[in-house]
Amino acid sequence: MFQRDMSHPKSIETLQRHGIDPGQPRSKSWNEFAATVIRPGDHGLRSGCGRKLPTIPWQPQEAALSTPDPAKATGSDSEIDAAFDRTFLRLKNRVEELMK
């Protein structure tokens, strides 16, 4: 089992399967981004947390990326991998739509 403040191992495997190097991912608090310069036209993305983005002087375009939680998938390894792949592709397609 993994800790809630860590990335799910299957998420890491999914990124790698799709040719993405995830580096050393970890859960981050919004406080880490307090000094980040957010410019008009920036996007704020959230997935599954159910919370609004923090208030900032110019609100970025916000998009809720609702997806089924692949960590709740059951079945064979290939069925669980397929659930993570479906979520990955859904998020990837949504982000690509937003960036047009």
Question: Residue 43's CB: how many other CB atoms inside 10 A?
Answer: 12
pLDDT at 1: 47
Rounded average pLDDT over 11-31: 86
30 and 54 in contact (C-beta within 8 Å)? yes
Question: Could you tell me the residue ranges of all domains in the chain?
Answer: 9-98
State yes or no: pLDDT of 23 exceeds 60.
yes
Q: Which two tokens mark 74? A: 């059951």
Distance CA 85, CA 7 (A): 15
pTM listed for this prediction = 0.69
- Between 6 and 91, name the one with better pLDDT: 91
Within the chain, residue ranges assigned H as helices are: 9-17, 77-98
Per residue in 25-80, pLDDT (tens digit) is: 877 776 776 667 666 666 666 555 555 555 555 555 555 667 888 999 999 999 99
pLDDT at 100: 76
Those residues with Cβ within 8 angstroms of residue 28's Cβ, 6 or more apart along the chain or in another chain: none
pLDDT at 2: 45
Question: Residue 30's CB: how many other CB atoms inside 10 A?
Answer: 12
